[in-house]
Amino acid sequence: MKRLYSILSIALLVVVVSLMLFGCRSKEVESALIYINQQNDWGKAMEQLKMAVQVNPADVEAHVLLAEGYGQSGDYENMVKEIDTAEKLMEGAPNPKFQNKLNFLRDKYWRISFNKGVSNVKRDSLQAAKKDFENCVLIDANRPESYQNLGYVNVQLKNIDAAVENYKTAVKLNPKDINAFISLTNLYLNQKRYQEAIDACNKILALDPENAQAIAEKAMAYDLLGNSEEAFKAYDEALAKNPNNKDLLFNMGRLYYRKGQYEDAIAKFKAVIESSPDDFEANVNIGNAYLLRAEDFLKKYRDMDEKQLAKHAAEFKSDNASAKEYYKQAIPYLEKAVVLSPDQATGWYNLGVAYVQAGEAKKGAECFNISDQVKEGNLLKASDFIDKNLSHLK
């Protein structure tokens, strides 16, 4: 009998241990489940669940149900706290049923917040969208699309520093996301962080060596950094892939212009005008490049006295004739520029210079006068001049 009693004792111990491991629900959790399943009363259920975790802070099921309740009410901060608490309690002894429930809650409310954010962006409710995507980050910090959309909203709200950090996190979570890298590059350029922009472009090109946008932005970054040699190389590479890209052509023209290579600059700006004849900046830059090209012929004579000029009379005559041709070539582009933007005083002044140097002194004087008027905000004479002389360019 003693041996039998010993066996029974062991059996009883096993039952006790089993109850300790799997136990019965507390009366508070039982009450909460009745409120949830039979009455759909989450308010009273939450009261019971809060009491349950006060009585037993290690009650995993109570924490899981609390997370669900907080999610139902949109209190995502407390929902996440309860999820984290439940997962910590299950460390080393996970319960698949509870873990699946927690995963479901994270995914469900992440999707709800994400979709609300997208909807609010479409409605131009950017502050609301910002909060929605911040909730996405709170609910699941490992999903890069949350940071991308939050970055987009922050850009629209002019929160550029925050947007940079959003996109940096996005590419850290997904290092193959080219679109996120492109957005980050644009922000670096905006902040004049040119070397970081170049580094980001190099990461894009490591993933996609033919990515024309990355090549173009890398060229722009080198250009703005003052490294013209690398900028020219990058522009050449970008234009080889996109020979008709107006922005690339314009930026390369601008770089030539800044370097004083006016003929090359003119060629690039003219390529822009071929597809966009009403591009103000391209027209005005061609006109100004011709003016500067003309000045190249004449500047060496500026400081000469009459005796020195006499010694170089033949050369001066030749150079003056060449300069005059460049002034003439500037006129149609500067005329187009003032028609496109009649409120630009500098455009009128430069057109006046071109007219005078090309031998049209009367028109030149009119343009100088118009330039003064435009500076004061009076466009009447500008409009009259255009109607009288340049109406064919409208």
Determine how many CB atoms are found less than 10 A away from the CB of residue 244: 11
Specify the pLDDT at position 12: 33
The CA-based angle 173-177-178, given to 5 degrees, is 145
Helix (H) or strand (E) holding 101, with range, is helix 96-122
Nearest to 95 by CA among 107, 86, 83: 86
CA distances from 283 to 250, 269, 330 (A): 11, 7, 9
Determine how many CB atoms are found less than 10 A away from the CB of residue 274: 11
Q: Which residues contact 239 (CB under 8 A, 6 or more apart)?
A: 245, 248, 249, 252
The CA-based angle 224-342-335, given to 5 degrees, is 85
pLDDT per residue of the chain (394 residues) written in tens, 0 to 9: 333 333 333 333 333 333 333 446 899 999 999 999 999 999 999 999 999 999 999 999 999 999 999 999 999 999 999 999 999 999 988 899 999 999 999 999 999 999 999 999 999 999 999 999 999 999 999 999 999 999 999 999 999 999 999 999 999 999 999 999 999 999 999 999 999 999 999 999 999 988 888 988 898 899 889 898 999 988 888 888 888 889 889 989 999 998 899 999 999 999 999 999 999 999 999 999 999 999 887 777 677 777 777 777 777 788 788 889 999 999 999 999 999 999 999 999 999 999 999 999 999 999 999 999 999 999 999 999 999 999 999 8
Q: Which residues contact 73 (CB under 8 A, 6 or more apart)?
A: 42
Instruction: Show the tokens assigned to 42.
Output: 């989450």
Burial of 214 (0-12, 13-18, 19+ CB in 10 A): buried
Alpha carbons 280 and 153: distance in angstroms, whole number: 31
Nearest to 32 by CA among 59, 11, 3: 59
Structure letter (DSSP) for residue 284: H
Beta carbons of 73 and 42 less than 8 angstroms apart: yes
Beta carbons of 322 and 316 less than 8 angstroms apart: no
Model confidence, pTM: 0.69
DSSP string, 204-261: HHHH-TT-HHHHHHHHHHHHHHT-HHHHHHHHHHHHHH-TT-HHHHHHHHHHHHHTT-
